[in-house]
Structure 1
């Protein structure tokens, strides 16, 4: 007697399908038309459609609409998600953690995760995408090397009406679903800590400044510096590491602290500077970003900003599942995992302050 409105809509549509009024492959009326037909809200219609999609009765395709499945409705989905990684180092533990988090979350929704490595090559990335399309995957997670260069590959996926989500890095000029960490706030935490340690001559060292994630970290650094009344000029950004010149600047006290855009660069910087007679942290404090597994096991433990890679993977799979099920719309939802500061031996109070 008190059947929910969405259930009334759902049962009415099921009746039309069972009676042959709506046949396999037919497009269902638009949300607006259904609202008028049943005299209910859009929320009610979306609830009914989501349940039908979850039960395999219909398939919802972004920007195309909802379509009736055939008799094999329950099996229309491959229950596969492809994870395409265009990585520099296939054995980087951070990638493994992201994959682990994504696999765990995908399994909760009944999906299997297929991992493809494309090694920074756009043609290989495109071939991997086509390979996964041939396997009828339900969606893509993509960790791109350069998201701007991969734009045509994203367009290719969109042309095939398959949802996808970018992980860790994205193209600000091409809106997409995204899972990453809070780069901006993390950089503010790191820079404020160096300032708390009485450093005023702090430079930002970039690894791949074409990445928006590194630009966000630089923006956070600039914000913290300016809030402290410290100047920021073009000279404060290092995009090409000249270690001889940097060591000279450190010994002249022109630089007392370095905030590196990732741990890989921070570790390399410490090795290069110590090889030139610079003492870390006595002569210069070095801060990283990521918290690699190895960051605490070096001869000089690395102070850094920790991001939760497994959480990034879980968030990615969770959001992609919502998109596949038609529960999230708009194409540009972004989920940022939190960050925290980890202090070790590579930073100390400025002895010359």
Structure 2
């Protein structure tokens, strides 16, 4: 059978790279020049280039061109980074922003990013990791659903001596490289704002309290409350919300503000409370955390703590590159992105003071 035209182009370019005619870091001819050189269509050239990129032989950078991967020729490096996301909602724009930031940073040092979704399933996460190990990736970025439960999956990577970095969530008992936001200071900012609005009966509502990130936000809330001379008891942490009981507490003025561990929970709470006749923010103020894309587009705009998701992704890829290049050692470096307060309509001064 005749060899497909794209395969002939691919093999010809591979031969040039292996023979040293194209050196590591060299820019390949553009699509039009390759079409003329091989007397084939643009579709054929793009197919050949895509295969070379998927195999880690070249890196394609938008608006710059295609380049021979120097590490590929020198040390059999794939120039591939795997990003494993154990996501609760694959359509959440915050994940897309993290991926975008990581891709942009990876491209700057000629790495391609391969994204795998594992949907909160440890077995699927492990299978994704093994699949990427088989592809000989140079490193992993991992956004885990539960970093404690995923410990055995990390050990699989460690046994293969491949560097990896956790994004957004980490296991405090299993030190590692990490990129996330400053949860503690963000929670202090949010709680102090509610206190500035003359709220003293503030409760913290948790979404997944097993996560270190939520525990850090609760610790920030506790710190701000105590610094203001306000007591914090076990009853101030809501991990399983009884909405009827919460509404009763609001109408009795035992709760005047809620600080939610993330925007998804804050939006759910606003829906549940307004459905039971609670006026927001007149009867209770609600504060979130994340500045999720929907937070400003609700009928009641959500006051929240903004984290820069693209920056988290960029920090993750940059730090992983440092580890791959041997410029960072120790296995316990953490980069925290800054946070800021965004005030909208869901909070107001306590009218009952």
**What TM-score do you get using the length of structure 2 for normalisation?**
0.79
The aligned residue for residue 200 of structure 1 is 200
Question: In the alignment, what sits opposite 2:187?
Answer: 187
Match for residue 146 of structure 1? 146
TM-superposition CA deviations, 1:2-25 (whole Å, max 9, x none): xxxxxxxxxxxxxxxxxxxxxxxx
Distance 1:186 1:278 in 2: 27
Q: Distance between the aligned counterparts of 1:79 and 1:247, measured in 2?
A: 55
Q: Secondary structure at the match of 1:224?
A: helix
Instruction: Deviation per CA, 1:151-209: give whole Å up to 9, x if none.
Output: 00001100000000000000000000000000000000000000000000000000000
Map 1:50-199 onto structure 2 (within 5 A): 73-74=73-74, 76-199=76-199
1:225 maps to what in 2? 225
Shift of 1:74: 2.1
Query: How many angstroms does 1:241 deviate by?
Result: 1.1
1:36 corresponds in structure 2 to: none
Q: Do the aligned residues in 1 keep the contact of 2:98 with 2:311 (CA within 8 Å)?
A: yes
Q: Could you say what the CA RMSD is over the residues aligned between the two structures, in angstroms?
A: 1.0
SS at match of 1:170: coil
Structure 1: state its 5+ residue gaps.
Answer: 1-70
Q: Distance in 1 between matches of 2:275 and 2:248?
A: 13
Provide the residue aligned with 1:262 in structure 2. Answer: 262
- 2:72 and 2:78 in contact (8 A); partners too: no
For residues 266 and 317 of structure 2, what CA distance do their matches in structure 1 show? 30
**Structure-2 residue corresponding to 1:278:** 278
For 2:266, what is the secondary structure of its paired residue? helix
Give me the whole-angstrom Cα distance separating, in 1, the residues matched to 2:74 and 2:298: 52
3-state SS of the aligned residue for 2:115? strand
> Structure 1-normalised TM-score?
0.79
Closer/same/farther in 2, CA of residues 205 and 174 from structure 1, 3 Å limit: same
Query: What is the distance in 2 between the residues matched to 1:85 and 1:277?
Result: 38
Deviation at 1:72? 7.2
Q: Which runs of 5+ in 2 are unaligned?
A: 1-70
The residue matched to 1:335 in structure 2 has which SS? strand
**Helix, strand or coil: the match of 2:346?**
coil
Partners of 2:93 and 2:195 in 1: how far apart?
Answer: 31
1:34-71 Cα deviation digits (max 9, x unpaired): xxxxxxxxxxxxxxxxxxxxxxxxxxxxxxxxxxxxx9
- Residue 120 of structure 1 aligns to a residue in which SS? coil
How far 1:76 moved relative to its partner?
1.3
How many residue pairs get matched? 283
Aligned to 1:25: none
After TM superposition, which residue ranges in structure 1, 4 or more long, deviate above 3 angstroms? none
Distance 1:329 1:288, change over 3 A: same
